[in-house]
Structure 1
Amino acid sequence: MDPKEFSGTTDPMIAEGWIKSIEVIFAFMELQDADRVRCATFLLTGEARLWWESASVLTGEFMTLRQRDNSVAEFVRKFERGCHFVPLIDNDAWEKLRHFIDGLRSILRRDARVASPTTYAVAVSRVLAAEQDQREIESDRQGKRPYQAP
């Protein structure tokens, strides 16, 4: 059936067109959801493949991206790029906030939940500050307090 590979894009219309083209094939083949996911991931290349590999859990209709060893800034970039492919998260402020917090490393996730942010932008700001605090705590533990101008 000659399915096309997908290397990623920031244009949601192109991504949606690719999805629709492979859905036609999947419907013809009468594939179940799990098989559809496996077949679709086989067709991902380039940035789309990297994005998929950084995603760890498929929960219902949503992909939860995990921070792992990325800095908060890098995680935010990946998360925002990934949201382009999941409009149900991108277009729902509460879902976007929830998925962002759920994807953070445990210590930052705890800090974000304690702060009780009401928007995604506030959560990003607070988590960036929490990450900086973590760096300073680690530096203090090592006896290397960073120099701060008076």
Structure 2
Amino acid sequence: MNPEDFYDNTDPFVAEVWIRSLEVIFRYMDMADADRVRGTIYLLKGDASLWWEEAEQGVNLATSTWKGFKRVFYDKYFRSDVCSRLKREFISLRQGDFAVVEFVQKFDRDCHFVPLISKDVAENLRHFLDGLRPTIRQDVMLVDPTDYTTVVARSY
């Protein structure tokens, strides 16, 4: 496994993909919380390393958890204004001129930022269906779908 270094990036999706890629490694290697934090700090380079040097002043590494590190990391890379914008974009997401595959990709990526919808299976399904073009939604509804996988497959 060769985790990538993180140099600092203002795109919240780049930061999120990086964190998720580390979490896959951590789960596979069954790493303890403290090792996760230390390993992640090692991968911070350039401006991200400089940011951590400042942020670490308020963190006790002896008791730091992965969840705590992510909170500090997300405070930096997912500012509240960015999260608010992403939530608004998701709430107003419609298929429009997107191909179904593009709409599914955008829906799956963006729903992460609206946990009240993404964690509620029925609400997630309703929101996806509402975003589909009416002609596609009508065809999907003919099979009375009950889960997201079925809806996506039928949408294609």
TM-score of the two chains, using structure 1 as the length reference: 0.50
| Structure having the larger proportion of residues in helix | 2
Higher strand proportion (structure 1 or 2): 1
Q: Normalising by structure 2, what TM-score?
A: 0.48
